[in-house]
Amino acid sequence: MTIRLFNTLTKTKEDFAPIDAANVRMYVCGPTVYDFAHIGNARPVIVFDVLFRLLRHIYGDAHVTYVRNITDVDDKINARAAERGISIRELTEETARQYAEDVAALGNLPPTVTPRATEHIAQMIAIIEQLIAAGHAYAADGHVLFDVSSKPDYGKLSRRSLGEMIAGARVEVAPYKKSPMDFVLWKPSDAATPGWDSPWGRGRPGWHIECSAMAGEYLGETFDIHGGGIDLQFPHHENEIAQSEGAHHNHPLAKVWMHNGFLQVEGEKMSKSAGNFFTIRDLLADWPGEVLRFNMLRTHYRQPIDFTVAGLKESWKMLERWYEVTEPLADPAPDAAFFEALSDDLNTPAAIASLHQAGDMALAGGLGFLGFSNVQMRIADKAAVDTAAIADAIEARKAARAAKNFAESDRIRDDLLAQGIVLKDGPGGTTWEVKK
Ligand code: AMP
Ligand code: ZN
């Protein structure tokens, strides 16, 4: 089976041929750990988890290496730790742990390696030294900057010229920069800011260099797939390419670049000020992780997705219906249509449709679509049903019985039963449970 993937570099869908089928390598940019991840952050995690599972299915579990980093050095982290009056380490440890819990609850496998930026400072310094030696970077004023004019193909991923970038980006103009597009590889730290000794004085890395260092450490100079959200295409991924290729004799960083589309909430950009900002944690309090994951995968990963409560309810209903049909099997048998759809640039909506037709839930479990938690138990969870409506129905039935209208009280009981709710009359009154 050949996978076809849309490559942002070439803007075409290409047959995927791994550099080494015995070790298929993928890097996805991970979170900056200073606060709970939001549901938009969950999208790349889920999308690339599906790809990870598909690659493992095809090449074997032991033959796929998936690296997703943790950015634990960043000015947002410093600011938040100061605000909360805790140490940077406490903040990053706490947030990284919450992140791992949240994405696990969405049914994602842990990546093969989850490197932390602060544990790879030496590798970052080494790349920066290589870049300076190769004439791609210069030190100025305690900073080291990447000289974009030294790399004629800078902009090849996002297909922008330097002129367009300067016009379109909010670039920081600084006296030590030769060009406003030159970006920071290393910057000085004052006594109150985390810093490491380096040939350019005590300082800390820029964000982009972190990914180049960690990708190089675990995946080598050139690897198969690099992923992230569409917002990272420029400047982050463009800069990763410039740094890694500049340090590695122009050997390509990754063969295939993949970007997921953005997630909106109820038709609007998610923002704290608009009041439509949802962390994964918030949502997990009301919805099973499986429903959140399934809802995400009903839209193709390159399309924008509109995350709505109506969509979540629909997803929940679909899952419930499917689970009524079949029990998920531990070891699913492969199904041609399902894998064909996934192999076509991760066409998850088509894969879901194929399951729908086959009425076969077993497969879905195999790729973490579904079945990663016991949905039947989740369905049985009383939070899953409209408890207020059930309470009203119980009250109405009580009134009907008091009026000796047994036809009506039976009708109410049977109605509930048809929805999977069983009433139990006991000495303390009527209780209910979900039909097993
Ligand atoms: P950040 O912590 O902002 O660097 O984001 C971590 C990951 O989440 C990156 O791959 C982003 O592209 C992705 N991401 C952030 N916001 C959204 C969103 N609203 N929709 C989809 N992906 C997002
Ligand atoms: Zn990155």
Please report whether residue 84 resides in a domain.
yes
| Domains: count for the chain | 2
26-51 burial, b at 16+ Cβ within 10 Å, e below that, comes to bbbbbbbbbebbbbbbbbbbbbbbbb
31 lines ligand 1 (CB under 6 A): yes
- Domain's final residue, options 239, 260, 281: 260
Pocket residue to mutate for ligand 1, from 70, 231, 240, most atoms within 8 A of Cβ: 231
44 lines ligand 1 (CB under 6 A): yes
- Proximal ligand: closest to the CA of 69: 2
Do 86 and 232 have their domain in common? Answer: yes
Pair 222, 254: CB distance under 8 Å: yes
Parent domain of 408: 384-436
Over its length of 436 residues, how does the chain's per-residue pLDDT go in tens digits?
899 999 999 999 999 999 999 999 999 999 999 999 999 999 999 999 999 999 999 999 999 999 999 999 999 999 999 999 999 999 999 999 999 999 999 999 999 999 999 999 999 999 999 999 999 999 999 999 999 999 999 999 999 888 888 777 666 778 899 999 999 999 999 999 999 999 999 999 999 999 999 999 999 999 999 999 999 999 999 999 999 999 999 999 999 999 999 999 999 999 988 889 999 999 999 998 989 999 999 999 999 999 999 999 999 888 877 776 655 444 455 578 888 999 999 999 999 888 776 655 566 665 676 554 444 444 445 445 677 788 889 999 999 999 999 999 999 999 888 877 888 887 777 877 776 5
- Domain's final residue, options 209, 241, 260: 260
Cα of 27 from ligand 2 centre, angstroms:
8
**Residue 189 CB: number of other CB atoms within 10 A?**
18
Quote the CA–CA distance of 252 and 267 in Å, as a whole number: 38
CA nearest ligand 1 atom 2, residue? 31
DSSP one-letter string for 9-44? TTTEEEE---S-TTSEEEEE---B-SSPPBHHHHHH
Residues 266, 354, 333, 27, Cα dihedral to 10°: -40
Cα of 202 from ligand 2 centre, angstroms:
23
CA nearest ligand 1 atom 14, residue? 41
Please report whether residue 333 resides in a domain.
no
Please report whether residue 180 resides in a domain.
yes
Cα of 235 from ligand 2 centre, angstroms:
10
CATH number for the domain that contains residue 222? 3.40.50.620
32 lines ligand 1 (CB under 6 A): yes
229 lines ligand 1 (CB under 6 A): yes
Quote the CA–CA distance of 308 and 298 in Å, as a whole number: 12
227 lines ligand 1 (CB under 6 A): no
- Proximal ligand: closest to the CA of 44: 1
Do 238 and 90 have their domain in common? Answer: yes
258 lines ligand 1 (CB under 6 A): no
- Domain's final residue, options 207, 225, 260: 260
Tokens of 216: 């190089």
> What is the pTM for the complete model shown?
0.85
- Proximal ligand: closest to the CA of 263: 1
Cα of 282 from ligand 2 centre, angstroms:
26
Do 18 and 162 have their domain in common? Answer: yes
